[in-house]
């Protein structure tokens, strides 16, 4: 289903009882944004934390205890709509630099998003403390990539994300043994004008590229022996020896011989930029039993990312705003992660930098990425307690029970590393989440869930407002349920966690880092 953003047709769910008169985009054009760059932002965070709350707000003691139905009833389409429109206009701040709206890290659109989230939180200063967390993120761009075989251009090639550039002409080939994951697989490769050909499998793409470079290859070609498809992979963080790397098809790889001569030309750069996570926590509630949830504040470069993950960003802001009308028993921590699209960098940085004491206080993490895909389905991450920290299954069941209660169909989707829960799971914290779908097919109608996934058209027309409202109510339910009572939720298994972390990471079961295949 694909609904225009200002007209909501008849919706067959009792959840949608709100008035459906939505404001026009023009009504939001006058928004002043808090910060457009890092320096402004630093100054404003300092100012925000110094501001005294003014006006007459009810004392915290006078608020009712959080109740899931009451909180859900406060989630309105008008709020979701106006905030989404704001985000779109923020994405347009990048027009000058990128030629199209985007909220990619480092852009005005992304700094504007961070500023906007902080500005909204400022209005809730009586209820939340907030902070930003700065970290370095890899930012890579591939401007062009070409491969020629015996002088003929090869059509189907794909540069790996975060590949360095390469300018190699008239090179011979070296075929790595096995999967190219061990030094011995490169025996016989002599430094010179050589390009390595490597099979996918066993170790990350980045390890293969780095090893090939270490033994003297000047570029690398990787193919999947099990599939003809090109891989949408990333090399991850480069090493000193990472070389320019292209993905090629299996049929091309199988046609290559030791007599083949190739040219590899990649114009690309990889650089570090700084960006920020935003984290807000209720002032009240038990800070030794923290309920945490997150969405990502950035988009890909190609477009404004209004569904991915403008929707989650908006949902969290809306729930945070309405939660402030209630007392909570357990503290709630909202996070807006940066650099998810570069490989979950913000959430990983956050989860990895928690001290053991702080880690132990986080009872669970819930991920909300893409809440309103136009041809949506109600997807629940299939996290089990056997493969994940204990509690992951309870989170999954909370979502399933709620969809069942509201007579909405749901599907389970793999818990395979495609969003910001990875850092939490790898650090022993139970996790879960819901989504409305990306490039996959809707299990009911066989059509793509979000045709505009990672594209320029992920704009205000790319939101299914009924799914947006339903899923934001479910987020409210998850927050209300756990902030009220965690007594039946599994305790953290902290003892085993400390020793397991590095092991967990080494043997990570996740094939993805965000949307990028890593191996």
- Quick check: 104 and 299 in contact, CB under 8 A? yes
The residue among 159 and 435 lying less far from Zn ion, judged by its C-beta, is 435
Q: Does 393 bind Zn ion (CB under 5 A)?
A: no
Q: What's the rounded Cα separation, in Å, for the pair 235 and 219? A: 13
Interface of this chain with Zn ion, residues 53 to 92, rule: CB under 5 A: none
CB of 458 to Zn ion, least distance (A): 10
**Candidates 69-77, 251-259, 308-316, 478-486; binding stretch for Zn ion (CB under 5 A):** 308-316
**Candidates 115-123, 140-148, 172-180, 300-308; binding stretch for Zn ion (CB under 5 A):** 300-308
Query: Among candidates 2, 3, 17, 6, which has minimal Cα distance to 470?
Result: 17
Query: What is the three-class DSSP state of 148?
Result: strand
Q: Does 420 bind Zn ion (CB under 5 A)?
A: no
DSSP per residue over 245-314, as a string? EEEE-HHHHHH--TT--EEEEEEEEEEEEEEEEEEEEESSSEEEEEEEEEEE----TTS--IIIIIIHHH
Q: Which of 52, 134, 183, 340 is catalytic?
A: 340
CB of 299 to Zn ion, least distance (A): 8
Among 139, 263, 308, 377, binds Zn ion (CB under 5 A): 308
- Quick check: 309 and 295 in contact, CB under 8 A? yes
Interface of this chain with Zn ion, residues 361 to 390, rule: CB under 5 A: 369
Say how many residues touch Zn ion, by CB under 5 A: 3
Residue 144 burial (10 A CB sphere; 0-12, 13-18, 19+) = exposed
Q: Give how far Cα 45 sits from Cα of 109, 127, 131, 324, Å.
A: 18, 16, 7, 20
Q: What's the rounded Cα separation, in Å, for the pair 80 and 68? A: 19
The residue among 458 and 466 lying less far from Zn ion, judged by its C-beta, is 458
* CB-based burial, 174-213: b 16+ in 10 Å, e otherwise: bbbeebbbeeebbeebeeeebbbbbbbeeebbbbbbbbbb
Q: Does 301 bind Zn ion (CB under 5 A)?
A: no
How many Cα atoms occupy the beta-carbon half-sphere of 122 within 13 Å? Answer: 16
CB of 271 to Zn ion, least distance (A): 22
**Candidates 42-50, 85-93, 302-310, 322-330; binding stretch for Zn ion (CB under 5 A):** 302-310
Name the H helices within 93-172.
95-98, 108-122
Whether 340 is catalytic: yes
Q: Does 309 bind Zn ion (CB under 5 A)?
A: yes
270 pairs with which residues across the strands?
Answer: 140
The site map against Zn ion for 316-355 (x = CB under 5 A) is ----------------------------------------
CB of 360 to Zn ion, least distance (A): 28
CB of 453 to Zn ion, least distance (A): 9
CB of 438 to Zn ion, least distance (A): 8
- Quick check: 145 and 159 in contact, CB under 8 A? yes
Catalytic residues: 340
Write out the residues near Zn ion by the rule CB under 5 A: 308-309, 369
């Amino acid at each position: 289903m694909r609904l225009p953003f200002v007209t909501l047709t008849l919706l067959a769910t009792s959840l949608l009882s709100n008035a459906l008169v939505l404001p026009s985009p023009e009504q939001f054009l006058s928004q002043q944004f808090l910060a457009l760059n890092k320096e402004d932002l630093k100054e404003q965070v300092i100012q925000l934390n110094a501001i005294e709350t003014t006006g007459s707000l009810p004392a915290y003691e006078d608020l009712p205890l959080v109740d899931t139905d009451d909180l859900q009833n406060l989630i309105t389409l008008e709020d979701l709509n106006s905030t989404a429109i704001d985000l779109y206009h923020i994405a347009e701040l990048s027009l000058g630099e990128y030629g199209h709206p985007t909220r990619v890290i480092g852009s005005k659109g992304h700094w504007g998003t961070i500023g906007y989230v902080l500005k909204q939180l400022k209005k809730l200063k009586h209820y939340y403390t907030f902070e930003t967390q700065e970290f370095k993120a890899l930012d890579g761009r591939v401007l062009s990539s070409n491969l020629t075989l015996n002088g003929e251009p090869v059509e189907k090639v794909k540069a790996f994300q975060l590949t360095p550039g390469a300018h190699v002409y008239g090179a011979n080939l070296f075929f790595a043994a096995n999967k190219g994951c061990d030094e011995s697989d490169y025996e016989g490769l002599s430094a010179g004008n050589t390009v390595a050909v490597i099979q996918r499998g066993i170790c990350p793409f980045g390890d293969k590229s780095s090893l090939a470079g270490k033994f003297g290859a000047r570029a690398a070609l990787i193919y999947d022996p099990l599939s003809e498809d090109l891989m949408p992979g990333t090399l991850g963080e480069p090493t000193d020896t990472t070389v320019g790397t292209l993905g090629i098809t299996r049929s091309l790889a199988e046609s290559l011989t030791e007599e083949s001569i190739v040219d590899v030309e990649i114009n690309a750069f990889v650089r570090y930029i700084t960006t920020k996570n935003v984290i807000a926590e209720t002032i009240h509630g038990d800070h030794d039993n923290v309920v945490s949830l997150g969405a990502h504040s950035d988009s890909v470069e190609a477009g404004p990312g209004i569904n991915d993950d403008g929707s989650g960003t908006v949902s969290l802001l809306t729930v945070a705003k309405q939660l402030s009308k209630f007392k909570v028993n357990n503290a709630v921590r909202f996070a807006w992660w940066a650099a998810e699209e570069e490989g979950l960098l913000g959430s990983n940085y956050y989860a990895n930098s928690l001290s053991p004491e702080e880690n132990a206080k986080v009872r669970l993490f819930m991920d909300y990425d893409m809440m309103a895909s136009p041809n949506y389905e109600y997807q629940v991450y299939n996290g089990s307690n056997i493969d994940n920290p204990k509690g992951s299954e309870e989170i999954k069941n909370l979502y399933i029970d709620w969809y069942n209660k509201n007579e909405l169909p749901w599907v389970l989707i793999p818990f395979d590393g495609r969003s910001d829960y990875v850092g939490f799971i790898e650090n022993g914290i139970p996790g879960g989440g819901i989504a409305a779908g990306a490039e996959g097919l809707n299990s009911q109608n066989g059509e793509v869930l979000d045709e505009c996934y990672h594209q320029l058209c992920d704009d205000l027309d790319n939101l299914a407002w009924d799914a947006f409202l339903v899923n934001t109510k479910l987020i409210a339910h998850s927050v209300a349920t756990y902030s009220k009572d965690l007594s039946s939720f599994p305790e953290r298994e902290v003892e085993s966690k400390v020793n397991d972390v590095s092991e967990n990471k080494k043997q990570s079961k996740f094939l993805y880092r965000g949307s990028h295949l890593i191996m």
